[in-house]
Amino acid sequence: MTQALPHDLGPAAAEPIRAERGESLLRRRLSAYFDTPLAFVGAGLLVLLLVVAIAAPWIAPQNPYDLAQLDIMDGRLAPGEKAAAGFTYYLGTDEQGRDMLSAILYGLRISLFVGVVSTLFACTIGASIGVAAAYAGGKVESFVMRVVDLQLSFPAILIALVLLAVWGRGIDKVIIALVIVQWAYYARTVRGSALVERGREYIEAARCLALPRSRIVFRHLLPNCLPPLIVVATVQVAHAIALEATLSFLGVGVPVTEPSLGLLIKNGYDYLLSGKYWISTYPGVALVIAIVAINLVGDRLRDVLNPRLSR
């Protein structure tokens, strides 16, 4: 009797064989993610942006938030011009004499912080509500989904504008407003995945073992809904950054003393027609690069984590 060779076992045996050879699921996911050049570009840009944003206090030539370091006589200098003290402004200055390179690095830090933190809170709240509603079913699920549908029927920018018009400016207030307008996306996403997973055998087995409902929902059901949730959360980070930039541009976002990229664009908007393009253009380019990098990573994660697309 002959022994079956690994290649005779068919594709179903390929995954266990690779696992026995020490290839973990994480390594397979990473290998699949970096199959395309755009994946390298998106991941590289995102890592670079995160590094320069975190290291902004150490690599920025100037602290744009320190009024003692600003000189109004250096206002609106063109890129490459030197100040009276001999300092070269490679990206020019704004009307307050703020170095645009330093302002962009600090503004990128605030924009990424607001986008990531608001997404984490919104994802946690929305995922918990969505998976609990899907598991409960009945009137509870119907009520939660009607609330989600009601919120999603209004534009996110409109809700955020109303909230910030009442609360006023502030990074913490912007984050709370973004959490309120975003949680419904995650609730709807997780609810759709949880409805599929609710009928699986492992959920029935957990019920037969008389496990607490909270343990079934958060220890068994929710972890199996994570792949689509990760994709949505990645894309929503870019959406949160763009929404915060829009709110700051309209004057209801972050305070003037801590400008984000959106507020930097607003500060230079009045000078676009006068030839001083750099005050608004360079922060806009940084904002576009950040949003494109995050979207590239999110699109590639969707292809890798979606089993239908992987086939």
pLDDT at 18: 44
Q: For residue range 121-168, what is the model confidence (pLDDT) as tens digits?
A: 999 999 999 998 988 888 999 999 999 999 999 999 999 999 999 998
Report the range of poorest mean pLDDT among 28-32, 70-74, 147-151, 270-274. Answer: 28-32
- Opening angle at CA 82, ends 77 and 87, nearest 5: 120
Residue 308 is predicted with a pLDDT of 55
Cα 286 to Cα 103: distance, rounded to the nearest angstrom: 11
Taking each helix axis from N to C end, the angle separating 37-54 and 100-136, rounded to the nearest 10 degrees, works out to: 110
- Which of 60, 114, 52 has its CA nearest to residue 289? 52
**What's the pLDDT tens digit per position in 36-46?**
888 889 899 99
Least confident of 46-55, 57-66, 124-133: 57-66
> Which pLDDT belongs to residue 4?
44
Q: Which of 84-88, 187-191, 228-232, 276-280 has the lowest mean pLDDT?
A: 84-88
- Of 258, 109, 239, 105, nearest to 170 (Cα)? 258
Q: Which domains, and CATH codes, for the chain? A: 37-310 (1.10.3720.10)
Q: What's the pLDDT at 302?
A: 84
From 203, 233, 230, 205, select the one nearest 217 (Cα to Cα).
Answer: 203
**What does the DSSP assignment read for 26-49?**
HHHHHHHHTTSHHHHHHHHHHHHH
The proportion of the chain whose per-residue pLDDT surpasses 70, expressed as a percent, equals 90
Minimum mean pLDDT range among 49-58, 132-141, 204-213, 240-249: 204-213
Give the pLDDT of residue 307: 52
- In this model, does residue 119 exceed pLDDT 70? yes
Higher pLDDT, 142 or 28: 142
Mean of pLDDT over the chain: 85
Please report the pLDDT score of residue 101 as a whole number. Answer: 93
> Nearest Cα to 80, choosing from 93, 70, 69, 96?
93
Q: Which of 56-60, 174-178, 257-261, 277-281 has the lowest mean pLDDT?
A: 257-261
pLDDT value at residue 14: 42
Q: What is the mean pLDDT of residues 14-27?
A: 52
Least confident among 10-24, 114-128, 219-233: 10-24
Which pLDDT value is given to residue 25?
Answer: 65
In this prediction, residues 201-216 reach a mean pLDDT of: 82
Which residues lie closer than 8 Å to 133 by C-beta, 6 or more apart?
A: 140, 141, 144, 145, 187, 191
